Amino acid sequence: MRKYTYSAKQSDNKNKWCIVNAEGAILGRLSTLIASRLRGKHNPLFTPHVDTGDWVVVINADKITLTGKKIDKKCYYRHSGYMGGLKTITAKKLLEKSPEDLIRFAVKGMLPKNRLGNKLFKKLKVYAGDKHPHKAQQLEIIAL
């Protein structure tokens, strides 16, 4: 008698919503927790090629911390496509300008680089303050 490993289907996903308070949290540790939750690795039905993850809402993104000298030395790059079009911004300036992007960039780098990764990334909602428009979903609080 053969025993087969169960492969989850999209319909098996419960689509739960979770909320994470980023106040005082370290960027790397927070983003690994978020990426794992989005991917569905906490779920016993985890299947690598199926979206079995949860929706994640992050609040207080402006109160996140970075360890060591990363706040001054870590740089984020983008390129316009033209000659000499390389743009850089430090983590300190990015935290002042758009703190949501700091978390988004960290989590995006931890997700798969394919269509599934793009789909999972859309399930992440990040807000600088403690107000968010997702009160209607029954949010499960995740403690760090």
Note the pLDDT tens digit of each residue in 23-46. Answer: 999 999 999 999 999 999 999 999
Ordered by where they begin, the domains of the chain are: 17-66+99-142 (3.90.1180.10)
Tell me: pLDDT of 2 over 80. Answer: no
Cα 16 vs. chain centroid, distance in angstroms?
15
Q: Which of 96, 97, 108 is nearest to 38 (CA)?
A: 108
Residues 6+ apart with CB under 8 A from 17: 54, 55, 56, 57, 134, 137, 138, 139, 140
Burial track 27-39 (b if 16+ CB lie within 10 A, e otherwise) = beebbebbbebbb
- pLDDT, mean of residues 13-31: 95
Least confident of 1-5, 8-12, 42-46: 1-5
